[in-house]
Structure 1
């Protein structure tokens, strides 16, 4: 699959279309096989006990899949999640950002399927695994 939006273009797109969350995320790498996004973990992402909340982990996975798809189809703001499944496998490491490694498994005309593995920065084992399907709106 060819890349039509690199990391800089994706970060610029997030800043313009989703300024409410863009400062929390950074697309760090895009290539033909995968995309990497960082969640800059802060107080707003923590739950009691000092761990990153499930909704924050899910949001990272969703944003990573969205960006991985846009990297291949271009800036289509209205592509939306139609199905998602997430497995929380272990507690994220305290005080560390989270990294999503995402790959697109199938890219069709109207549906895309991708998966994301979420890691604590520098960690060897994933803290979560997510599978998602996105609906791609028809071209005008």
Structure 2
């Protein structure tokens, strides 16, 4: 199954439906059941200690899986997160963007299950890994 939305279409969707957050994410690649999304890290994403906050990393994982779902099913704004489990594994490098490789493990009629692996740009090893489930609205 091939994606029905490419990177430009996903970014246009974010700008239209989520203008408050669209500038936080750059869709770098779209493939069947996968997307790669970059978060240009800014001061608002940091926490004390000079590292990226957990909520910012959660947002990147959540948006990554959301966009992977939409890439495959089309622009369904009402697809929603029903579950998330995230492991924070190491401190992201200060001043570096975060990159999320989001992959769908299952895309059903009602639910999608995905895995998001987040790296700090230029750093070896993942900084976080999340498993998410999305509910897909009825057609």
In the alignment, what sits opposite 1:125? 125
**How does the TM-score come out when normalised to structure 2?**
0.98
Contact residue 89 and residue 127 of structure 2 kept, 8 A: yes
In the alignment, what sits opposite 1:78? 78
In the alignment, what sits opposite 2:67? 67
In the alignment, what sits opposite 1:5? 5
Which aligned runs of 4 or more in structure 1 are off by greater than 6 angstroms? none
What SS does the aligned partner of 1:75 have? coil
Q: Could you give the per-residue CA deviations for residues 47-68 of structure 1, whole angstroms, max 9, x where no partner exists?
A: 0010000000000000000000
Bigger CA drift: 67-76 or 31-40? 31-40
**How does the TM-score come out when normalised to structure 1?**
0.97
Specify every segment of 5 or more residues in structure 1 that has no aligned partner in the other structure, as ranges: none
Q: Could you give the per-residue CA deviations for residues 41-98 of structure 1, whole angstroms, max 9, x where no partner exists?
A: 1000000010000000000000000000000000000000001000000000010000
Q: Does 1:56 align with 2:56?
A: yes
Return the offset for 1:124: 2.2
Q: How many pairs are equivalent?
A: 139
Return the offset for 1:33: 5.0
> Pairwise CA RMSD of aligned residues?
0.7
Bigger CA drift: 33-42 or 50-59? 33-42
What SS does the aligned partner of 1:38 have? strand
Specify every segment of 5 or more residues in structure 2 that has no aligned partner in the other structure, as ranges: none
Return the offset for 1:28: 0.7
